[in-house]
Every structure is written in C-alpha cells, then in structure tokens.
Amino acid sequence: MSASKPAETAAFGTESGATVAKVYAALRMPILDGELPPGTRINIDAVARRLGVSQTPVREALQRLEGDALLVYTPGKGYRTTEMLDLAGLRSVFEFRLLIEPWAARSAAADRLTNPADRLDKELTAFELAASAKEDVRQQLLLHDTRFHDIVLAATENEVVRQAYTQVHCHLHVFRLYQVDEDGLITIEEHRKIWEAIRACDADAAEHEMLGHIKNSYARSAQAFSTPSPGPDSRIRDGAAAARLTR
C-alpha cells in the first residue's frame, strides 16, 4: 500500500471476509452499470452508514476495487470512480487481446493433455441456464466471459501471460461500455464455436474462432462511440498471432 494513503486502524482485517465482500459487491455493480458515473467521489463514512458496517471493511473493499481499476486513489482527495475507456483506450485493449487470445486458443487446442474442453462445456452450460432464466443476465455475462477466457488462458500453462492479461482487467473495462449483447446469446454462439474447435483439437480453427470473437466484441463495444472506428485486423507471423489495428 502506498505510504500516501490513510493509515488503517488497528482493527484492519478483523472483520469478516463476508462483510468486505458485501461492501465490494454493493459498490462494484453500480460502478459497472454506470449508477456511479466516472469521476464520482466515494465517501467512506457515507458508504459505511448506508451499509451498516464500520469504515474498516469499506476501506478494504475500496482497495480491492482500486486493484480492479474501477477506482483511483488521489492523496488528499480520496477515492473516485475511474474514467471510462475512450475510443483509443478501447482499441488498445483489443489490440492487446488480439495479441494474446488467438494464440491462447491455438495452444489450448493443440495440447491434448491440457485441453480445457470439458471445463469450457460446463461453463457454457451454466451460463446458458442463467441466460435462459433471465436472472441478472448482465452480471452473469460478465462473470461468464471472464471465466471462459481465463479457462482458455490457464490451459496454456503460461502464468506470466495469464497474470499480464488479468492485470489489464479487459472484461471490466469493456463491460462498462454500451453492450449490444444484452441477453448474452451472441456471446454464447461465439464461445460455443471456440469450444467446439478446442474440443476437436483443431488449433487453426480455435485460433480463427477466437480471432473472430475478439473482432466482433470490439465492433459491439465500439458502438458506445458515435465516431466510426476501423475494426481490428490481424496477421499471423511465425505461427503466433501478431495483431495490429488498422489506422
């Protein structure tokens, strides 16, 4: 923790993890849904009073949200919700994803010993049930999308790449923008094609389907901006996915 941040009380960490999780959840979804707009100052005392908890779990939850890149801390001013991605930021996120995820899908399909098809199947089935029930589909879509892509990345057994991807918080950033796939059906269809290619151990198809999924996701997310934007493109170099965005 930075020395410039307020010192925690001696009781820090003594309250239950469930209380911290409650505060975290109570703030996280309003940020993602836009109920707490970008730049909104978070008043620790007000949050504690509203949720009926002490300030200690609120501070811990705020630190977790800062780690998620949903809050930013400024000395002397406290915590505020982070700004939304602009178009250039969105393009940068998807350029990063194009560099990593098609390669990850290819790797997952090529290695039969670590093939994650069974885990992907269970994840898809669980999300399809949630989507069909129409119960908080937006929240379930975020959780599903994060888990699905993490399963593929984990199958590469490259923790350096996986951690780098996690730290970018791709899903959280993009999720805050306007989403066309409100019921999750488009995501299910695209994820299923990736799963089918990985299950068949077809490395070329897995890479191709993941590439198409990332491009389509970019196109959907870019609708949050009124200015038309070139879509992502890619080229394969030495068997790995090397991506660029058209200018």
Domain residue limits, the chain: 17-81, 87-245
> Which carries the bigger pLDDT value, residue 82 or residue 12?
82
Q: How confident is the model at residue 181 (pLDDT cuts 50, 70, 90)?
A: confident
Find all residues with CB under 8 Å of 79, minimum gap 6, and list them: 41, 42, 44, 62, 65, 66, 71, 72, 73
pLDDT band at 176 (very low <50, low <70, confident <90, very high): confident
Residue with the larger pLDDT of the pair 173 and 211: 211
> Quick one: CATH architecture of 17-81?
Orthogonal Bundle (1.10)
For residue 54, the model assigns a pLDDT of 93
pLDDT value of residue 15:
53
Rounded mean pLDDT of 127-137?
79
Closest CA to 127 of 140, 142, 146: 140
* Model pLDDT, residue 139: 82
**Per the structure block, which two tokens stand in for 237?**
């170099």
Question: How confident is the model at residue 204, as a pLDDT?
Answer: 98
125 is written with which tokens?
Answer: 């089935």
- How far is Cα 200 from Cα 32, in angstroms, rounded to an integer? 36
From CA 237, how far away is CA 120, in angstroms rounded? 28
Average pLDDT of the segment spanning 2-31: 68
The model's pLDDT over 35-80, given as tens digits with 9 standing for 90+, comes to 888 999 999 999 999 999 999 999 999 999 999 889 999 998 999 9
CATH of 87-245, one of 3.20.20.100, 1.20.1050.10, 1.20.120.530, 1.10.10.10: 1.20.120.530
pLDDT digits (tens, 9 = 90+) for 84-93: 889 999 999 9
Question: Residue 233: its pLDDT value, please?
Answer: 54
Average pLDDT score over the chain: 84
| More confidently predicted of 179 and 3 | 179
